[in-house]
Structures are given as C-alpha cells and as structure tokens.
Structure 1
Amino acid sequence: MSTLIRPPPLNPSQSAIENLLELTQLSDIDPDLFTNTRPLWHPPGARGIYGGAAIAQTLSAAQRTVPKDFTVHSMHCYFVLAGNSEIPIIYHVERVRSGKSFATRTVQARQRGKVIFTTTISFVRQNAGGEKLVEHSAEMPTDIPGPIEGMDDLDYGGASTGPFQSQRIEILNNDSPHPHTKKCRQWIKARGRISPAGGHEAHLAALAYMSDSYFIGTIARTHKLWRYSAVRKSNTKSSIDEDVLKKLLAMDDEELKRVKFLDQADLERIRQYKNGETISKKKTQPEIGMMVSLDHTIYFHDPRNFRADEWMFTEMDTPWSGDGRGLVFQRMFSRDGKLIASCVQEGVVRLRQPGESKL
C-alpha cells in the first residue's frame, strides 16, 4: 500500500501540485508526525521516488509547526536511501529551536523504520531585519526566449497529467569545450492555479518540488553524454529517461529538430536506433550509467512575494565534476526578473563502464 490512509477524493479547488503534496497529520500518535496523503511518483528508471516530493513534503510538514509570521529562508537536505513508491512515508518533525527571530526544524522521512531523507530547515520571523536593510540581488539574464503557452517538454514535468509544466531553452555556450562555462535554462511553473487557501506555504512547497527538475542532469547535458537507454522488450528495470526515448523514436526528423534539449550527437544516435543500426561506441559519446542526487540545498529570497503557478526562469551551471560526483548551482527568477531562490545540488554521476549491460 502506497499510503497509510486511503486517499480522499481530489480537491477540485486545489491545483494538481497541492493535491499531490497533501499531507495527513497523525495527531493521534504525535502532532509532529505526518504522512503522504497520496501516492508518490517513481520516475521510470530512477532508483526511487522523485526527490522533489521528499523535499517539498518535509518543508510542508515543518511549516505546520512554526508560527504564521515565520517563513522558511533555507533548507539543507540529504537523500539517504531510495524512497519506495509502494510504501507510505512517515515524516517526523523535531522542533530544534524556537527563538524570537529564527526557528529551526529537522525533518526525517522514514519508510519501515529506516531514514530515507533528512533535512534541516530554518525559518525567520517577518520583518526581523529591521527598517533599514543591506540589499542587493543578482539580475536575471536578458534576451531569453519567453515561455510558450501550451507547449511543454516531453517528459514528466510537461506531461498533461503532471503537476508542473516546463520548457527547456537551448544551452548557453553549448559549443564550448568547457562544461563549466555552459548554462542549462528552462521555464517552469505549477500547472493550474494554486488555491488562496494554500497560502504562501503552498507556493513554497511547489517551488521546492520543482527545484529538483533536471537538476543533477545538468552535468550530463553540459558534457553531451547520452542519457537515454535503449527501449527494452524484456521485463528488466528500465534505465534513465527510457520513457522519453520512446517518444523521441516516434517522431520524424523535422519534429526531432524542434526538440530543444537534443544536440547533434543525440539526433544521430536516435536515427541509428530508428534505422535498426548497431550503435558504435567509437562514434557516439559515453553513456551515463548512474545519476543520483546526494544532497540538495535551497535558499529562499523574499519567499512571500512570488507565485509558483506563474512562469519562473531557472538557470543551472556546474563548476565541477569528478570522482564519480558532480556539483550544480541553480538560480530561480520570477518572470519579472526577481531572484526568488538559489539552489545547490551534489550527486553521483557515473559513466557506464566497459562490460556493463545495464544499471
């Protein structure tokens, strides 16, 4: 069973992402215990549930334990074990500190008694900084193609039933031989309209959920690594982005050329698959063998003054990768150019090794 309690009907007054992230408080056991109200998504080929769900639901649980005039300003997360979408998650909030200006909460996500995810979250009281402030902010890049309504990416984030929409833009400096000089960019927003009843907390949880979209994958894209496994006829576990590859194989050449997140090497390999040709390792780029998030940090800026259901621009770059790991930075802007969040993620990034047949 994927939930502890049978899920109630979807609330039509809430957006898809609000329904998805809904929590049930287990107050009869402990007022600081929560569980997922609805089943969580397991991306095809991933080791566990979509990481953004754990990030968002731990934030939602912590938000329910602080005074209304306190708002999250940072959270630091670690992915400990792969979450199983078939098992309910129990979220335990520990009230570490409740001060006059700041409050600290830790949240552990557990399945069958084992910690799968842990985070420490800091909240600040509104207007605690005083009347006079030290202020500055990075500016949103200019000359960016705007989002196109009704046109989404092929994968889960843009699926018609998904809780958010996304549109990737061409990689900046994609022809550079130096991955650290490239920037991966996208527009993203929650699908539908977040309800007034959800308050600023619902927008923050939605942003946290979406912040994990394509994040560690920045390293694969900047290195132009093959990210899609061959479509298999057996019942073995699928691999990275297999569902996306199925859709790409169904497209003709003109349609493929319009897919912004494919480079020339990707296009050539897809044509080889479609023509039934043997893939030559000498002619194609190395393949990703494993890509798993290890930790995730979000710094929220002016967290009560943005809407997660309006288009947000994100820009990701990677300063370093090595030793089977990689680091990625992300900035998230509102459409009018205000910096609303800064994120950092480290993850396992390993190439498929010689002789390996599957992940």
Structure 2
Amino acid sequence: MTTTPAGQADLDVLMDLLDLEQLEIDLYRGASPPESPPRVFGGQVAGQALVAAGRTVEADRHVHSLHAYFIRGGDPSRPIVYRTERVRDGQSFSTRRVLAIQNGKAIFALSASFQLAQQGLEHSVGPRAAVPGPDELPVLHQRVEATARSQWLKWINRAVDMRLVDEHPWTEDRVATDEPIRAWMRAGGKLPDDPLRHVCLLTYLSDLSLLSSVVARHDLSTTSLQMASLDHAMWFHQPFRMDDWLLYECWSPAASGGRGLAQGRFFTEEGTLIATTMQEGLVRLPRP
C-alpha cells in the first residue's frame, strides 16, 4: 500500500492510544490525544475497553461480539481507568466485562465475548449497491478540510485514509436520502499482525459516521443537532486487516423520541461482510 510519513506517524499515535498502560492485574489506564473533541470520542473509549478485555484472554480466542453503553461524557484532559472482570472461560468461549472509570465514576460499560476458532456454516451478503472503488475517490481531507472545525478530525484524516462515496451530513451540498451513506477506509500506514489491534481499530472507527446516517435521512446538518452515542454493539464475522480497504455502509431504519437507530456493515474490497454494528444515539433538535 502507498503511505506517507505523516500518515504513518499519526497512525502510530492512534495505535499508541489503543495500547493501554497496565496498572495492576485486570486494571489498565488510557489517555486521549492532545487534539480531542470536548468530550472523549466514543470510538476511543470503546476501542480502549476492548483492548482491556482482550489483554485478559488467550491469544487463540478472538472477539466475535461486543455490547456497550455510554454512561457519561468523558473528559479528554484526564486519564481513563479500565477495570476488567473475567466473567467466564469455557471450552470455546470467554466472556469479559469492562468498566471505564473517570473521576471515580463509570463513563462506559462493555461486555465482550471471545471464541476459539471453529468450523461451521458460512454465507455472507454483499453491499446494497455497486460503488466506486477507493482509487476513484478523493481522500477525505480534500473534500472537508476547508470546513473541518476540529483539529482532532484533521488528525484522524491523516491517521486513517477515508474516501467518501456519498455526501455525509457534515459535508456541504447534500440532500436527504433514504439510501445508505458509504465510505472506504483503511489505516494510514502499516499495522502489526496482531488481530486484536486490527479489531480494536475497527471498533474505534465504527463510531465515526454511524450516527450520521440518522441525520442523512433528513434535510439537516449534524452541526445543527445535539448528538451523542447511547449504546453500541458489534459482531465480527471474518478475519480482516485494517491496512486493507474496507467499505463502511451505514443506514438508519428508525428515529423517534429524540433518539435514532443506526446500523453499519463493513465489507472487504471483494465484497465479503466482515463486521456488523448497531448503535442508538441521542439526536435532539435545537431548542427554540
């Protein structure tokens, strides 16, 4: 793959964030990047919590699902402590619970299940429609750099190579659509072979545009709404590498009561479904 020194350097910083400091057995500490949103990015705390869970599981068991709740907004200026509970280790499955704590209060809770590799039935759906390949699309910062208000978003654009297939709700000149919003993404450099590192990075990135699909069905911009993730779930179907291209397809089936439900699917360039995610989020209209 083609990489740039800047992209690899920023990717290394991102991966360092997902490499937690161990304080004690089953107790870890994570930090936020210098360029960070006012609240800790939800994908970051989810990815770090999955690292804390994965560190307590045998290497031959890989995560196949996670379910999580965002409890409080995190402060990016303070460290986050992750406390892992070893719920069960069976013959084929291991279950872990992780509580993310800041200022003595829980801000995030995750349950994850890991499985020993096994044989079974196999089938997979493909993307809803044919899309242009990543090489046919401009890189993300060429489309939104001029309007990006966050240094954190610009940093992510360097650490991760993203190519928008559709106009997202935070870009200009878009209209409401009932179709999915899609983007190609891959790490901005080379990653080690450790499967847990790739899964945790995918977990981090899964929160980037998922809730935006709720807004995409309306003639509104994400900048005019109050939005926050409430819960998050993922299922991992096939092995993958985050330094290969993946297509992220997001769509919202329902919204009501100031909340929106979004579902996302990750595909390889060959069209194989490798992960599915669901999220409910707070989507509030501006107050009069």
TM-score, with length taken from structure 2: 0.85
Q: Where in structure 1 are there 5+ consecutive unaligned residues?
A: 1-10, 229-286, 355-359
Give the drift of 1:143.
2.6
Which one of the candidate residues 254, 268, 272 is aligned to 1:320?
254
Deviation at 1:321, TM superposition (A): 0.3
Distance of aligned partners of 1:37 and 1:168 in 2 relative to their CA distance in 1, 3 Å threshold: same
Match of 1:90 in 2: 81
Q: Is residue 2:54 matched to residue 1:63? A: yes
Could you tell me which runs of 5 or more consecutive residues in structure 2 were left unpaired when the two chains were aligned: 1-7
Match of 1:167? 163
TM-score after normalising by structure 1: 0.69
Q: Does 1:15 align with 2:2?
A: no
- Establish whether residue 50 from structure 1 lines up as the match of residue 41 from structure 2: yes
**What secondary structure does 1:104 align onto?**
strand
Q: Distance in 2 between matches of 1:150 and 1:292?
A: 28
The two structures, once aligned, show a CA RMSD in angstroms of 2.5
Deviations 1:119-173 (A, max 9, x none): 000111112xx4xx2221111344311113872243555647743222222259x
C-alpha separation in 1, matches of 2:35 and 2:13: 13
Mapped partners of 1:91, 1:111: distance in 2: 9
**SS of match in other structure, 1:193:** coil
Q: Give SS of 1:333's match.
A: strand
C-alpha distance after superposition, 1:194-226 (max 9, x if no partner): 124xx1111011111111011112111221213
SS at match of 1:15: helix
Q: Which among 244, 260, 266 is matched to residue 332 of structure 1?
A: 266
Q: Of 229, 250, 256, which residue of structure 2 is paired with 1:293?
A: 229
Compared with structure 1, are the counterparts of its residues 38 and 83 closer, same or farther at alpha carbon in structure 2 (3 Å cutoff)?
closer
- Name segments (4+ residues, structure 1) moved above 3 Å: 37-41, 155-162, 174-177
Of 92, 109, 126, the match for 2:117 = 126
Q: For 2:41 and 2:243, locate their aligned partners in 1 and report how far apart those are by CA, in whole Å.
A: 20
For residues 42 and 159 of structure 1, what CA distance do their matches in structure 2 show? 9
Query: 1:111 matched to which residue of 2?
Result: 102
Task: Pick which of 81-90 and 143-152 moved more.
Answer: 143-152
**1:275-317 Cα distance to aligned partner (Å, 9 max, x none):** xxxxxxxxxxxx42x1111001010112xx2111221101111
Shift of the 41–214 alpha-carbon distance from structure 1 to 2, 3 Å rule, reads farther
Kindly indicate whether the alpha-carbon contact (under 8 Å) linking 2:182 and 2:250 is maintained by their aligned counterparts in 1: yes
Paired amino acid for 1:323: G
Call closer, same or farther: CA 1:301–1:194 in 2, change over 3 Å.
same
Whole-Å Cα distance in 2 between the matches of residues 344 and 166 of structure 1? Answer: 21
Query: Amino acid of the residue matched to residue 296 of structure 1?
Result: H
Query: Would you say the 8 A contact 2:31–2:76 is kept in 1?
Result: no
Match of 2:26 among 28, 32, 38: 32
- Per the alignment, in what secondary structure is the counterpart of residue 110 of structure 1? strand
- The 3-state SS of whatever aligns with 1:35 is strand
Query: Which residue matches 2:222?
Result: 227
Structure number with larger C-alpha Rg: 1
Structure-2 change in CA distance of 1:183 and 1:150 (3 Å): closer
| 1:37 CA displacement | 5.2
Higher strand share: 2
Q: Deviations over 1:16-64 (max 9, x none)?
A: 431232200012xxx1000015647532xx5x11111011011111111
The answer as to 2:139 corresponding to 1:151 is: yes
Q: Deviations over 1:247-280 (max 9, x none)?
A: xxxxxxxxxxxxxxxxxxxxxxxxxxxxxxxxxx
Q: Deviation at 1:227?
A: 2.9
- 2:198–2:242 Cα contact (<8 Å) kept: yes
Residues 180 and 250 of structure 2 are in contact (CA less than 8 Å); yes or no, is this contact kept in structure 1? yes
User: SS in structure 1 opposite 2:199?
Assistant: helix
Q: What code does the residue aligned with 1:209 have?
A: Y
Compute the displacement of 1:187 (Å).
Answer: 0.9
Return the alpha-carbon distance in structure 1 between the equivalents of residues 46 and 156 of structure 2: 23
Return the offset for 1:175: 9.7
- State the percentage of identical aligned residues: 35
- Distance change (3 Å), C-alpha of 1:120 and 1:160: closer
**Matched pairs, number:** 267
